[in-house]
Amino acid sequence: MCTEAFKMPMKDSWEGVQNVWYVSPALFPLAIGIVLMLLRLYLFVLAFKAVGPRRVISGVGMIFDRDRRALRISAPVMRFFTIVTLFLFFVYMNISRIDFFLSSLLFLIVFIIMFYLDDMIILKRLFLFYLTGSLVFLIYFATPLDSTATAHCRYSTDMLALWSSLARSASMPE
């Protein structure tokens, strides 16, 4: 965030009027980036104080069950992974390629369900299903299949997204 903020103009001149640094558009993202770095550092120090450096370093290995090598993920961590995945695919892939209303509707349906349900099995299934569907869309957009389908039918991407959402809703357990 800070790197991108430094690419913005810090001061500029428009129509002969010189703008000073404190009215720069880079100031807010730069402040947010610095605050986030300080908070990250604070959390890192707190983790070292609370559990010690050995437990912090081996923390990644604690996610895996050593006997079965299966993931042991709690519901809050699963929600976090799902929310990050939802936002990444929504912002960087779906908004620019799928109709805004349709992609927002699909995003909100999954997003709301993630906070409404408490069943870990359903959360994992929903996450894997959304991730699989998003990866299919990623492959669809990365290959010439998108341009070929759009040449034959103008709204092919929207129809694929609608079909995908109907398939998702039909496969949801009750």
SS (H, E, C) 126-138: HHHHHHHHHHHHH
Domain range for 105: 73-171
Residues 156 and 87 in one domain: yes
In a domain, residue 66? The reply is no
Task: Collect all residues with Cβ–Cβ distance below 8 Å to 104 and sequence separation of at least 6.
Answer: none
In a domain, residue 157? The reply is yes
Element of type H or E holding 18? strand 17-18
Q: Where among 38, 61, 84 does a domain terminate?
A: 61
Q: In angstroms, rounded to a whole number, what is the distance separating the alpha carbons of residues 124 and 34?
A: 34
In a domain, residue 129? The reply is yes
Q: What is the 3-state secondary structure (H, E, C) of 49-99?
A: HHHCHHHHHCCCHHHECCCCCCECCCHHHHHHHHHHHHHHHHHHHHHHHCC
Residues 155 and 117 in one domain: yes
**By the 8 A CB rule, do 130 and 110 touch?**
yes
Q: Tell me, what amino acid is at 138?
A: L
In a domain, residue 40? The reply is yes
Residues 51 and 78 in one domain: no
Per-residue model confidence (pLDDT) at position 109: 80
Residues 26 and 51 in one domain: yes
Per-residue model confidence (pLDDT) at position 81: 82
In a domain, residue 160? The reply is yes
Residues 157 and 124 in one domain: yes
In a domain, residue 166? The reply is yes
Task: Report, in angstroms and rounded to the nearest whole number, the Rg of the chain calculated over CA atoms.
Answer: 22
Residues 92 and 112 in one domain: yes
Residues 34 and 55 in one domain: yes
Per-residue model confidence (pLDDT) at position 16: 62
Which of the residues in the chain have pLDDT under 50? 65, 68
Per-residue model confidence (pLDDT) at position 39: 93
In a domain, residue 139? The reply is yes
Please give the structure tokens belonging to residue 118: 């408490």
